[in-house]
Structure 1
Amino acid sequence: MQATEIVLPAVGEPESLQLRSRELPPLGSGQALVRVEASGVSFAEQQMRRGKYYDMPQFPFVPGYDLVGVVEEFGGSGSVRGQAGLKVGDRVAALTKVGGWADRVVLDVADLVPVPDGVSAVDAETLVVNGVTAWRMLHRTAKVRPGGTIVVHGATGGVGSVLVQMARAAEIEVIGTASDRNLEAVRGMGAVPVDYRGDVPAEVRRIAPQGVDAVFDHVGGPGIKDSWRMLARGGTLVSYGSASTRDKPGSGFVTVLMLVGRLMLWNALPNGRHAYFFNLWAGKKRHLDRWRKQLREDMERAFALLRDGKLSVSIANTYPLAEAAAALRFAESGQAVGKVLIVPTPAR
């Protein structure tokens, strides 16, 4: 079986991406062949093409942080299918980190999560990495309770918009930062909008004089200090990116290392506040079974909110596999509102 895929050969512009075909390896026991219906363009790919993602593979490699597709074949005995509860023809989702920008992939059955009936491939794809990240940060890391108040930076972004909606569904008040043109979209999600170009700390203090229960910051950089200061006693800062340094020279690993060091220092202060750097892959190497179990649980929760109408998704645009460079360029333009998707094989 041959696969068509996109290769990132080295640091370069989006146009350096290459389209190639290769023979897939035979399926082993516990593996499945998945026909990819949709894969996302995330901030990770934007950093990877610059060589700045803190935990990226060596060049060349196939990008694609996550995917949704249909099971076409299983390897090994039929008992694998029974254990996983899956069958040929089922729509599944997977978190891959790399490899998703292809029309067919070979994955471990244990890493596949069923997509509920009635949820389309493109809608499900918007929630694979974004939904799991948002759910875990809100409910597993910050553990914000109903009635609490949080700040979400980049509230109309991929993770931010999902995070806002999940918080509102959990009866948590939200202050969301965004550009002026997106403030109404923030208000439409039930959050209090704040222009990120203004005096955000002062505005947050006006809305929540005692501070907030949690701040979710994907920006990093000098502004992380303001995020820390917004917290009430007992509050939690969750940092999950360094978007402010995307186009700056220097090592992505060093940037994250410095950020983590600062958060660890703050976390040790005796003021009742907490600071964490969120890593979706933490614990996978040491506790693989538990990591997979929690991933499945959290993804299923995100899909259930979508299926039940408690969460909506926004798709900025879709591109065929051969136009992956245009997809990446558009995702980086700052004009995309919602998820940018690569659709190798449209749903049948």
Structure 2
Amino acid sequence: MSATERIEVVLPGKVEPEGLEFRRGPVPVPGEGQVVVRMEATGVSFAEQQMRRGRYYDQPPFPFVPGYDLVGTVHATGAGVGNGLVGKRVAALTKTGGWASHVLLDAADVVEVPEGVGAAEAETAVVNGITAWQMLHRKARIRSGRTILVHGANGGVGSMLVGLALAAGVRVIGTASARHHDTLRALGVTPIDYRTESIPARVRELAPNGVDAVFDHVGGRSLTDSWGLLAPGGTLVSYGSAATRDDTGSKQWPVLKLLGRVWMWNALPNGRSAYFFNVWAGKAFSERRFRARLRADLTEVFTALQRGDISAAVAAELPLAQVAEALRLAESGTVSGKVVLVP
């Protein structure tokens, strides 16, 4: 690949991973206030797994380039952007577009990666870390001495929630398959096997008065159980509907049901609260505030990564040319950590 050539992965429609296509073209030229980032690492997240099935509730129409986040080096800057950014390693949330060798972004949307943090390492902490930080500290506002339940405690967002919560002095109960329990116990998490145990019954044994927050990416019946496990004044944060990944029909309906339940629960006079979390919420109301929060929170996440509060769990690094294999691996459920694409 030449310095002037751009390669991107295109999702043409509802296809198997092998149906992803490659498109070549010139490296874009940044306009005013823009930068071109040469991708060093981009992730395969649950969002892309849903997008290829046409199941992500606000995905763009086909065809488009997936890729929810990326880490890379600033290749070029446009007018109004200082040349000092060129050569700097930065991270960005993109929602789509990250699966490409070069990505055009607004300069205001990139955050510098601290010295000493590698590209793949930083990539694991972008969307997963931001999501975990904002749910824990901005939505649940959890404090030291509290108890929380994290569904999928070994997963991408779940592991970030665990690390950030433990660093804040919070007691963590986490659901995971049995093969992850020893690792969770070593961290100080009390594990529950979601396949063989009754989660509500086990949580009630561990926290008879309920938990102060539940973080639920599963949806469906799990969400109702999670609400019932809250202590007075507790907070439920829903951030996905993994239970519906392989469903057919409307991609919006599972989210609309979640929102309906959240609205109903919040209308009840019981002192508990529920949220459906989307990292992009608020951008439509104030881009400036959204960007300021993103910058501040991602800086906190990178600091936690440097301190060792959270770990960069890289399941595998595969070249962009092997994106189908990477997507298959991420969907297999056989790996722990994030599958990362590199140039």
Q: Which TM-score tier does this pair reach, normalised by the shorter chain?
A: over 0.9
Residue matched to 2:245: 246
Shift of 1:327: 0.5
Stretches of structure 1 that go unaligned for 5 or more consecutive residues are: none
Match of 1:109 among 72, 94, 107: 107
SS at match of 1:332: helix
Residue identity in the other structure for 2:311:
S
Partner of 2:222: 223
TM-score (norm 1): 0.96
- Counterpart residue number, 2:185: 187
What are the residue-to-residue correspondences of 1:158-177 with 2, within 5 Å?
158-177=156-175
Match of 2:56 among 53, 71, 79: 53
The 2-side partners of 1:72 and 1:188 are apart by: 42
Aligned to 2:17: 14
Corresponding residue of 1:285: 284
Equivalent residue of 1:322, what SS? helix
1:251, distance to aligned residue in structure 2 (A) = 1.6
**Percent of residue pairs identical:** 60
Within 5 A, what are the aligned runs for 1:1-348? 1-77=4-80, 80-81=81-82, 86-197=84-195, 198-344=197-343
Contact 2:165 2:171 in 1 (8 A): yes
Aligned partner of residue 295 in structure 2, secondary structure: helix
Give, in whole Å, the separation in 2 of the partners of 1:69 and 1:54: 28
Would you say the 8 A contact 2:29–2:36 is kept in 1? no
Q: Deviations over 1:118-168 (max 9, x none)?
A: 100000000000000000000000111110000000000000001000000
CA-CA distance at 1:2 after TM superposition: 2.6
In 1, the alpha carbon distance for the partners of 2:43 and 2:25 equals 22
3-state DSSP of counterpart to 1:336: coil
| SS in structure 2 at match of 1:144 | coil
| 1:81 positional shift | 1.7
Question: 3-state SS of the aligned residue for 2:103?
Answer: strand
Question: Which AA in structure 2 matches 1:278?
Answer: F
**Aligned partner letter, 2:273:** H
What SS does the corresponding residue of 1:110 show, helix, strand or coil?
helix
Measure, in 1, the Cα distance between the counterparts of 2:182 and 2:116: 29
C-alpha separation between the residues in 2 aligned to 1:279 and 1:189?
Answer: 28
What is the rounded CA distance, in whole Å, between the counterparts of 1:87 and 1:136 in structure 2? 27
Aligned counterparts of 1:257 and 1:265: Cα–Cα separation in 2: 12
AA aligned to 2:294 is: L
Structure 2 residue runs without a partner (length 5+):
none
Q: What is the DSSP-based 3-state SS (H/G/I as helix, E as strand, rest coil) of the residue aligned with 1:252?
A: coil
SS of equivalent residue, structure 2 residue 41: strand
Structure 1 residue 26: Cα displacement: 2.5
CA deviation vs aligned residue, 1:96-120 (integer Å, no higher than 9, x gap) = 0000001111111000000000100
Shift of 1:309: 2.1
User: 1:248 Cα deviation (Å)?
Assistant: 1.4
Residues of 2 paired with 1:181 and 1:327: CA distance? 22
Off by >6 Å, runs of 4+ in structure 1: none
Letter in 2 for 1:305: A
The Cα RMSD (Å) is: 1.0
Could you list the per-position Cα deviations for residues 309-328 of structure 1 after superposition, in whole angstroms to 9, with x for gaps in the alignment? Answer: 22212111111011101111
| 1:276 alignment partner, SS class | strand
| 8 A contact 2:129–2:160 mirrored in 1 | yes
Instruction: Report the 3-state secondary structure (helix = DSSP H, G, I; strand = E; otherwise coil) of the residue aligned with 1:226.
Output: helix
Q: Secondary structure at the match of 1:279?
A: coil
1:20 to partner: Cα distance: 1.4
Aligned length: 339
CA distance in 1: counterparts of 2:210 and 2:120, whole angstroms: 38
SS in 1 for 2:50: helix
| Residues 260-315 of structure 1, C-alpha deviations (whole Å, 9 max, x = no match) | 10111011111111111001100112200000000011100000011122221211
Name which of structure 1's ranges 131-140 and 11-20 shifts more when overlaid on structure 2. Answer: 11-20
Distance 2:223 2:254 in 1: 13
Letter in 2 for 1:289: R
| 2:216–2:222 contact (8 Å) kept in structure 1 | no
1:188 shift after superposition: 2.1
Cα separation, 1, equivalents of 2:59 and 2:39 = 22
Distance in 2 between residues matched to 1:180 and 1:252, nearest whole Å = 31
